[in-house]
C-alpha cells in the first residue's frame, strides 16, 4: 500500500464503532470507547495520519481515541494477526490484503443514449 511504499499522501482511517446490531427498533454499535482507542493506536501504528470514527462513534469514543493517541507511544506496524487479535475478525469477504480474483466480476453497463 501507500504506507509501505513511503508515500507522503495522508492515509485516512475512520472505522465504525463496532458492528451494527438492530435492537428494539434502533441500530446499536458494539464497539466500546476503549476498543476504539485501541483501533486509533493501531491505525496510527499502521501509518494513518488522519484518524476518526464513522457510524456509531460518539463523543465518548473520540475522547478515548484522542487520549490513547496522545498517551501511548508509537509502536511498530502491527501484523494482520495482531490487528484481528485486538479488534476481532473481519466481517466482510475481503480483509483488504489481496486482489479479489476469485470474486465474480461485475459487468458494467454503458449509458443508453437517446
State the first-to-last Cα distance of the chain, in angstroms, to the nearest integer: 42
Give the CA-trace dihedral at 14, 20, 82, 39, to 10 degrees: 30
Question: pLDDT tens-digit profile of 35-90?
Answer: 999 999 999 999 999 999 999 999 999 999 999 999 999 999 999 999 999 888 87
At residue 69, φ and ψ (nearest 5 deg) are -65, -30
Q: Report residue 95 as a C-alpha cell.
A: 480483509
Q: In the prediction, which pLDDT does 32 show?
A: 95
Q: In the prediction, which pLDDT does 111 show?
A: 62
Amino acid at each position: 500500500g501507500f504506507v509501505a511504499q513511503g508515500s507522503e499522501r495522508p492515509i485516512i482511517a475512520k472505522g465504525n464503532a463496532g458492528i451494527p446490531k438492530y435492537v428494539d427498533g434502533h441500530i446499536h454499535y458494539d464497539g466500546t470507547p476503549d476498543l476504539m482507542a485501541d483501533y486509533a493506536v493501531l491505525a496510527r501504528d499502521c501509518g494513518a495520519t488522519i484518524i476518526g470514527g464513522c457510524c456509531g462513534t460518539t463523543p465518548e469514543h473520540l475522547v478515548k481515541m484522542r487520549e490513547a493517541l496522545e498517551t501511548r507511544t508509537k509502536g511498530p506496524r502491527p501484523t494482520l494477526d495482531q490487528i484481528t487479535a485486538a479488534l476481532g475478525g473481519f466481517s466482510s469477504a475481503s480483509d483488504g490484503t489481496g486482489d479479489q480474483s476469485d470474486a465474480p466480476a461485475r459487468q458494467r453497463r454503458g449509458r443508453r443514449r437517446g
